[in-house]
Structure 1
Amino acid sequence: MVDPVHTPQTPSVDDLPVAPVPGATLSRTAAQTLTEQLAERFASRIRDRLLAPGARLPSVRQCAQQHGLNPSTVVAAYDQLLARGLVEARRNRGFFVRERGPASAGSAAGKSPATAPGAAVPRMVAPVNAATLIRGMFHPSEGKPQPGAGVFPPEWLENSFMSAAVRKVSTHAALADASLRYGEPQGDGLLRRVLATRLQGMGLPADPAQIITTVGATHALDIVSRTLLKPGDAVMVEEPGWAVEFARLHALGMRVLPVPRGPAGPDLAVMERYCEAHAPKLFVSVSVLHNPTGYSLTPASAHRVLQLAQRHHFLVVEDDTYGHIAPEHATRMGVLDGLQRTIYVSGFAKILAPNWRVGYLVAPPDWTERLLDTKMLATLTTPSLLERAMAHCIEQGQLRRHAERIRHRLDLARSRSAKLAQAAGCRFVAEPAGLFGWVDTGTDTEALAQRLLDEGYLTAPGSLFYANRAPSTLMRINFATTQDAAFWRTFSRLAGAR
């Protein structure tokens, strides 16, 4: 049984999550004193951004009990962290990890601009949690599968045809040509032609001249934002949604308008109110296999979104990052409106080659030149060698067959992971679909995430997917990396340790 919509509960100040002490046992025979060891463990976690700014440290009493220490030892360790500027003491509340970097109270990116009367915009806070999640992706994983990962495991993506494609495009003459001169600013011509054919097969009326290749899909989203927006502009984004998108728009100084996402699509009544009060310039949507819920847009909802866009003069940015694992004939707004008010974004990092960083956008003809100018200001061009190799992978049908194998393997993994999650006491808020599951754990997942990290597991707590970063009992799981019963046993043990 799933719930169609679930919003995070906001606890009182006294219920804010407490960060756990890093897990390894302190040594009484080490060269460092117990005070120094304890302080360094907290400092290391803070430096690595694995303990986010704003997280509360355990009370002196809690910390002393957990480690069998004298309270004075904990006080001395916290004093060292205070002296190093890593934590701050708040009267009658405890010790908290400090925000790092210059204060941003006076900057466009650091405060919420004034809004129209009668239509409040949720406060957008600093995007430290998104950065923490990204840094965690590159943190040593101790060889364990990572439940919070946003990608398939490397072994799922292994194949023989990628290296063959690279060899084909890197003969002596081709390698010299690709290495010693800039490529086409708009992207490799063969890749754009191959992409146009593929997209036309989906019903998207894409001409090669409308396609711009990018350094991954995130770069494509950034090009669109920098071209079409200026600081203070309002942008509608689905919530729950992608933490990096909230953070990226926040850093550019935009007003983020969170739109609740349900099984059929975005909350159209909320969008209507935003349009009347704030005149947003963009709506950013993941139509197919939405992250983190797995929802896919219905044709009726897509049609009404496009009607709103026409009536209120905003553009739709359709992020189709997960389209390669989507059901055939899934609804896409770019198909329904013929790329009139829609900019389509996708890439290949999720399904094939994360480090090739090949992405692209498809825009209405009137916007292509402006978007290309923005790309060139940032990157001049894109490396053509890997783009040409990607074109061969698509043209020969290898990508299509590879995606079919991934989809079949994912279907099996999803079934197993869902059963393990439910046996561990989790409840699916959205029907399991795609790569991610959206589950209610019954406990604060931000605090739980730190406890699991001590055991070597990176997770994605629900607060990451909300613009206001409110504590939540929700968590996103990756079906491909949560088939390990050992993780769920650890999860059950720690989730019960309130």
Structure 2
Amino acid sequence: MPGQYQVTGETAAEISASIESGIVHGDWVSGAALPSVRALAESLHVSPATVAKAYQELRQRGVIETEGRRGTRVRARPALAVPRSGARLPAPAGLRDLSTGEPDIRLLPPLGPLLAVVAAETGPPQAYATAVTMPELIEAARPRLLAQGIPVEEATFAVTAGALDSIERVLIAHLRPGDAVAVEDPGWAGLIDLIAALGMRVLPFAVDAEGPDPGQLAAALQAGARAVVITVRAQNPTGAAVSAERAARLRELLAGHPEVVVIEDDHAAELAEQAPHCVGPVTRSWAFVRSASKPFGPDLRIAVLAGDETTVARVVGRMRIGMGWVSTTLQRLLLRLWQDPGVTAQVATAAESYARRRRALRDELRAFGIPATGDSGINVWIPVPDETLAVAAMRDAGYAVAPGSIFRVRSESAIRITISALDEAEIPELARAVAAAVRPSAVAGPMR
């Protein structure tokens, strides 16, 4: 039991090692509360600062997490063995699963016909010496991004195996274990896990409807962040999109930190109805990532990476001693998807459908007095007083939703609902169930 385990140590390193040993051996189970800093300091006869530093080291490595008034707890999903981004269990039978974060498979363009075209035009099989980033794809990517207002006139391009692969390669190109990365809070669980896996530290900053909070980002930069990752639009999990005004403020802020690596993630791409407002290029090292997985399907693991010459050269050089290149079959397929008018129309239809469903759920919840957010993308973020109770209440009502703890570092409790599996007719009933779970007093009368 947690109360029976005796933490030992006189230094922060010894204390953190003792706590981690207890977790590894099962003396502290996932979700168990740790002693307060003051209580543990008194027990070990050390200063509170020593215990606070031990807890800080464990948080940065993803072993424990702080949940505001609930105190410090053993993280429910250890960073590497069972990452928060990959630990979602299938929803129990009978539940409507709104926890996935995945696009609506009914709206994805069929790949079979275009794969047949690619197979017919590929020619001789590619060899190790000839399989590279296709010039044709880059030639198509630059004007495509420029037409959407993304400043890549002078950028160098590469092709990677998806958004997270791009971000990992850029971080490795410039940072080392122990370096700090400023990230959105709440933010993408996969990114938080990636930073922990790389041995780097997370410095969180808040996000509102217009994107990163400039004051909190400034604090993260002052605290030593060597890189910052910003979601341009369809931020996961809040649905935020960087506004033109906010982008200008962030450019002004980052201009004073020319050594910081700025990474911009546009994972939603054509599925986001808002125009992208980029922050970079403003520092010496900058990268913009455009993934294909959301508009064209999660199995299409490919992304276009644009950035400064040094950053992209380092990424490409590292790829040569690892995976080498992204399949030219995938590259040709992405090019065909971009060039097909029918696919373009399908993606636009999907974007409109997501927008209707997301706004409908958000507006229904706001009518109940629940300040839900979701201005872009496929998710709605809902603040709740207690995540455990809210998730359980939604389960009892027949819905599986994602607990906010997967996405949070320091931000307040919430749940995330993915709207891609919903039909519009289901939304009023769902909103009523959420209101009953989060604010029962707001729901008058029986469930419809």
Query: Structure 2 regions of 5+ residues with no counterpart?
Result: 3-19, 36-52, 62-70, 441-448
- Give secondary structure in 1 for the equivalent of 2:210: coil
Q: Does residue 296 in structure 1 map to residue 241 in structure 2?
A: yes
Q: Distance in 2 between matches of 1:269 and 1:398?
A: 44
* Structure 1 residues 88 and 258: CA distance shift in structure 2, 3 A: closer
Within a 5 Å distance, the mapping from 1:52-91 to structure 2 comes to: none
| 134, 139, 145: which one aligns with 1:199 | 145
| 335, 356, 360: which one aligns with 1:391 | 335
Q: Who is 2:197 aligned against?
A: 251
Within a 5 Å distance, the mapping from 1:86-235 to structure 2 comes to: 110=58, 112=60, 128=77, 131-136=83-88, 139=90, 142=93, 145-157=96-108, 159-160=109-110, 162-171=111-120, 174=122, 177-178=125-126, 181=128, 184-185=131-132, 187-206=133-152, 210-235=156-181
- Give secondary structure in 1 for the equivalent of 2:211: coil
For 1:19-46, what per-residue CA distance to the aligned partner results, in whole angstroms no more than 9, with x for missing partners? xxxxxxxxxxxxxxxxxxxxxxxxxxxx
TM-aligned CA deviation for residue 453 of structure 1: 5.4
Q: Distance in 2 between matches of 1:285 and 1:253?
A: 20
Q: Who is 1:427 aligned against?
A: 370
Q: Distance in 2 between matches of 1:304 and 1:326?
A: 22
Q: Distance in 2 between matches of 1:270 and 1:421?
A: 28
* Structure 1 residues 92 and 285: CA distance shift in structure 2, 3 A: closer
TM-aligned CA deviation for residue 494 of structure 1: 5.8
Contact 1:339/1:364 (<8 A) preserved:
no
| 338, 348, 356: which one aligns with 2:300 | 356
TM-aligned CA deviation for residue 409 of structure 1: 1.3
TM-aligned CA deviation for residue 243 of structure 1: 1.6
TM-score relative to the length of structure 2:
0.73
Q: Distance in 1 between matches of 2:94 and 2:159?
A: 34
| 381, 386, 391: which one aligns with 1:438 | 381
Q: Who is 2:17 aligned against?
A: none
Q: Distance in 2 between matches of 1:383 and 1:209?
A: 22
- Give secondary structure in 1 for the equivalent of 2:178: coil
Q: Does residue 238 in structure 1 map to residue 184 in structure 2?
A: yes
| 200, 217, 234: which one aligns with 1:271 | 217
Contact 1:147/1:477 (<8 A) preserved:
yes
Contact 1:241/1:291 (<8 A) preserved:
yes
Q: Distance in 1 between matches of 2:164 and 2:304?
A: 9
* Structure 1 residues 421 and 373: CA distance shift in structure 2, 3 A: same
Q: Distance in 1 between matches of 2:164 and 2:315?
A: 14
Q: Who is 1:458 aligned against?
A: 400
Instruction: Please tell me the root mean square deviation across aligned C-alpha atoms, in Å.
Output: 4.0
Contact 2:30/2:76 (<8 A) preserved:
no
Q: Does residue 381 in structure 1 map to residue 349 in structure 2?
A: no
| 345, 349, 355: which one aligns with 2:289 | 345
Q: Distance in 1 between matches of 2:373 and 2:32?
A: 39
Q: Distance in 2 between matches of 1:89 and 1:361?
A: 38
Contact 1:127/1:247 (<8 A) preserved:
no
Q: Who is 1:476 aligned against?
A: 416
* Structure 1 residues 127 and 191: CA distance shift in structure 2, 3 A: farther
- Identity between Structure 1 and Structure 2 (%): 21
Q: Does residue 448 in structure 1 map to residue 409 in structure 2?
A: no
Q: Who is 2:312 aligned against?
A: 368
Q: Distance in 2 between matches of 1:91 and 1:124?
A: 4
Contact 2:32/2:74 (<8 A) preserved:
no
Q: Who is 2:352 aligned against?
A: 408
For 1:29-85, what per-residue CA distance to the aligned partner results, in whole angstroms no more than 9, with x for missing partners? xxxxxxxxxxxxxxxxxxxxxxxxx9xxxxxxxxxxxxxxxxxxxxxxxxxxxx999
- Give secondary structure in 2 for the equivalent of 1:311: coil
Q: Distance in 1 between matches of 2:34 and 2:298?
A: 47
TM-aligned CA deviation for residue 133 of structure 1: 5.0
Pick which of 250-259 and 371-380 moved more. 371-380
Contact 1:309/1:315 (<8 A) preserved:
no
TM-score relative to the length of structure 1:
0.66
- Give secondary structure in 2 for the equivalent of 1:475: strand
Q: Larger relative contact order (C-alpha < 8 A, sep ≥ 6)?
A: 1
* Amino acid paired to 1:156: L
* Structure 1 residues 144 and 494: CA distance shift in structure 2, 3 A: same
* Structure 1 residues 152 and 236: CA distance shift in structure 2, 3 A: same
TM-aligned CA deviation for residue 249 of structure 1: 0.6
For 1:100-153, what per-residue CA distance to the aligned partner results, in whole angstroms no more than 9, with x for missing partners? xxxxx99x985649xxxxxxxx9998582783553327x366475422221212
Q: Distance in 1 between matches of 2:353 and 2:93?
A: 24
Contact 1:437/1:477 (<8 A) preserved:
yes
Q: Distance in 2 between matches of 1:220 and 1:492?
A: 39
Query: Structure 1 regions of 5+ residues with no counterpart?
Result: 1-12, 14-53, 55-82, 94-104, 114-121
* Amino acid paired to 2:244: P
Q: Distance in 2 between matches of 1:264 and 1:258?
A: 17
